[in-house]
Structure 1
């Protein structure tokens, strides 16, 4: 029996998403302890103490199904974002809301446009949907919006833009995005994936949620996994027109956000002081790593996110050597960047470990 032949055409050629190596896996493989993980763009400060308290209180009700509509979290988000609760779709991480968007709107015969070095999930979802991927070559490691506009055809259903982008950290200005949106045909959906939104300086952020009133084809996705430190709880959301949200909620699985995640996200949202502290730490430590690269002549991509992508060759050998020293970073050959490594911004002592380990390797590599 050929099980592969039974699968949908787009699924049979897929390969599972490869996350950053877990600490536990490296411990099992090499018996190493005191590991520094700088691979998955997690918040090194953890989460707000208010989150643990909210989860503890909610845990008394884990025998009950969660609120399928996430009323209170939507209410809190509505107050901050200035939109109606009927414009918000909650998901098990922003990955799921993107998947729901694809399942709702994208199918065989459609085209999906995205940057060649953008979040790999766009490509995976396009292929799984049976649609055609249109990967646009990057411009200075970032989105080439003019080329994206030129690539639009009658078959184009969706354009995915990550801003800041993962894994490069590049950023599109509010002026560039505004010009782009004004030129996209109304029948083409645009999703702005703003997973790293909180790390962008306030004065540089585009008012993307405000643009929803002008552009009914626009969707904005965000997550609690990064600056809010809730990667393990998996909570994300998408803001759109009420009409798009209505369709998404018809496709969305019931109870897709568990009760602990909903409570934790609501508590995290209420502690903006923690988010500010997280962003300030990221900015300070990013500057340290940039200075490190400059002093050693290492090429890096200017990042607006909570990671920095460095050109280090041979990247795979350096990645493996760092593992033996108890430091996990992220190889990104799967993103078409075989000569680069992505390094999450950690605590000062974690970044010190990384820089010291890399220094050892750079010394060993000298002729």
Structure 2
């Protein structure tokens, strides 16, 4: 079955792209199918000089170049349970010299259960294998649940790494800085703790924590000013866009702009002193995945806009303005359960559709 799946990927990638036009407020958008036949794709990362990497949640990493996909060997063994598996992939700015590739994944823990982990390896020049792979961070503690692993990994302006971690369905743990659940951590590229992290030296606090009080952040981006923005899942309502500040508490589960799935009230309300408010929130929930901030290269009108994938409503939400607000929803056959959305080096927008098992390239149709 795995051999057949790879064959299907190659055939579709080599064939003619499916024609689709999406409507938008700034004109029609042309959609090209770049690759199909994927098994629960989760993330995409572009490589300098062409080609890209794709993760599939069951543990496969693909190197795609010139319309052909090849599995990359050397990927850590993942705990593909529930929402866990092989998750994000990130190519750092110095890839041309370092060949480094960072992965986030759910890792089986010795005592049972699984935790979100970060691994790094060096991609061989032919793209067939990751060498010298090592796990540089594992969230503590692990959990036997299969929910809320996070996780995105992004490179900060100073070269450190931000990693988003869900609270694993254990709501109170998001306020407990003695564990990593429900936090955003900041680590060096070798997994060590940066000396200027906010809680370094604080007894009983995990030193990797940069911010906490998060539910399940699955989107992250660093803007042109070096600021970190995160998109995270609420419960029934209250999906949030947050600007992340050093050492800040984002409130979950004490405050929220939604309700539990049962309809019951969450915590103490929507605000509390010492807890951050979202820059924007959705009610009802859209189940947001990743987020990008667009350069304006092909769509000048979208410069600085946020594009957020939706797993629930099969669309891309475009946010703009100050204060930030949703100005448009872009949808079509190619936006089924959008798991990742990314800007390619040429300014085109690429969509990873978990629902379609495919990756699409978006460009202006005129």
Give the TM-score normalised by structure 2. Answer: 0.26
Q: Which has the higher strand share?
A: 2
User: Rg larger in 1 or in 2?
Assistant: 1
Q: Which has the higher helix share?
A: 1
Q: Does 1 or 2 have the higher relative contact order (CA < 8 Å, sep 6+)?
A: 1
